[in-house]
């Protein structure tokens, strides 16, 4: 294994939201800081920095991950998805994002990127996810503003639209 001197940075490459990117990272640099400060992908938020609040949630190779508990070097060569990659095209929201907007499921929005990543993953993996499963997933996220009910309603509505049970409204 390559030995690094203190403070020495190495190249980290990843596919970020479909684009090949590269930056420099010291061995202890967190993925959350790498995304925000090295790559300029500031959609991923940082709250507690110890895995509790969920604000920093991203997908790595299709799996949900806390970017504040992941070293940038651990994501080298991986496919990383962040909230910036959810919209299908510029100026158009995803079904889930649009449902969140309609239900006023955010206020300050600090928690929202992480919640979107987790719920997007849930609805992709489990199209029939019910309220109990949505609450399970939201159990990994702290939101100080909404009381959660609008988020649950938005997720249920998005799930129904994605299953083709109701037209986009
Ligand atoms: S900032 Fe990562 S879980 Fe809170
Ligand atoms: S909308 Fe403010 S913390 Fe969730």
In this prediction the pTM is 0.94
Does one domain contain both 58 and 35?
yes
Distance CA 169, CA 167 (A): 6
55 and 107 belong to one structural domain:
no
Average pLDDT over residues 132-150: 98
**What pLDDT score does 5 carry?**
75
Asked if the model's pLDDT at residue 17 lies above 60, the reply is yes
Domain residues for 113? Answer: 95-162
Q: Write the residue with the smallest CA distance to atom 3 of ligand 1.
A: 51
Q: Which of 30, 51, 71, 143 to mutate to test the pocket of ligand 1 (most atoms within 8 A of CB)?
A: 51
Mean pLDDT, residues 12-16: 98
Neighbours of 109 (CB within 10 A): 14
> Same domain for 73 and 47?
yes
Which ligand ends up closest to the CA of 110?
A: 2
Q: Do 115 and 52 reside in the same domain of the chain?
A: no
Q: What is the mean pLDDT of residues 101-106?
A: 97
Residue 168: is its pLDDT beyond 90?
no
* Rounded (to 5) percent helix, strand, coil in the chain: 35, 15, 45
The CA distance from 168 to 161, in Å, is 6
Output the six-digit token pair for 124: 């992709």
Q: Ligand 2 centroid to 108 CA: how many Å?
A: 5
Q: What's the domain count of the chain?
A: 2
**Residue/partner pairs of 31-38 with CB below 8 Å, 24 or more apart:** 31/58, 31/65, 31/67, 31/68, 31/70, 31/71, 31/72, 31/74, 31/75, 31/80, 32/56, 32/67, 32/68, 32/70, 33/72, 34/72, 34/75, 35/67, 35/80, 35/82, 38/72
150 shares a domain with 102: yes
- Residue 2, pLDDT score: 62
The CA radius of gyration of the chain, in Å to the nearest whole number, is 17
Last residue of some domain: 85, 103, 138? Answer: 85
Flag whether 148 is in a domain.
yes
Tell me whether residue 2 is in a domain.
no
Pick 168 or 78 by higher pLDDT: 78
Would you say residue 90 lies in a domain?
Answer: no
Mutate to test the pocket of ligand 1, among 34, 44, 52 (most ligand atoms within 8 A of CB): 52
Q: What is the model's pLDDT at position 167?
A: 58
Do 77 and 15 reside in the same domain of the chain? yes
Among protein residues, the one whose CA lies closest to atom 4 of ligand 2: 143
């Amino acid at each position: 294994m390559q030995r690094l001197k203190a403070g020495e940075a190495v190249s980290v490459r990843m596919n970020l939201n479909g684009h090949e990117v590269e930056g420099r990272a010291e061995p202890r640099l967190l993925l959350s800081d790498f995304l925000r400060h090295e790559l300029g992908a500031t959609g991923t938020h940082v709250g507690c920095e110890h895995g509790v609040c969920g604000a920093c949630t991203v997908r790595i190779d299709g799996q949900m991950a806390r970017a504040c508990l992941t070293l940038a070097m651990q994501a080298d060569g991986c496919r990383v998805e962040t909230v910036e990659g959810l919209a299908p095209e510029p100026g158009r929201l995803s079904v889930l994002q649009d449902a969140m907007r309609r239900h006023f499921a955010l206020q300050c929005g600090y928690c929202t990127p992480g919640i979107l990543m987790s719920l997007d993953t849930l609805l992709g993996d489990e199209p029939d996810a019910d309220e109990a499963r949505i609450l399970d997933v939201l159990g990994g996220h702290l939101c100080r503003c909404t009381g959660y009910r609008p988020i649950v309603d938005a997720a249920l509505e998005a799930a129904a639209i994605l299953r083709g049970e109701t037209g986009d409204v």
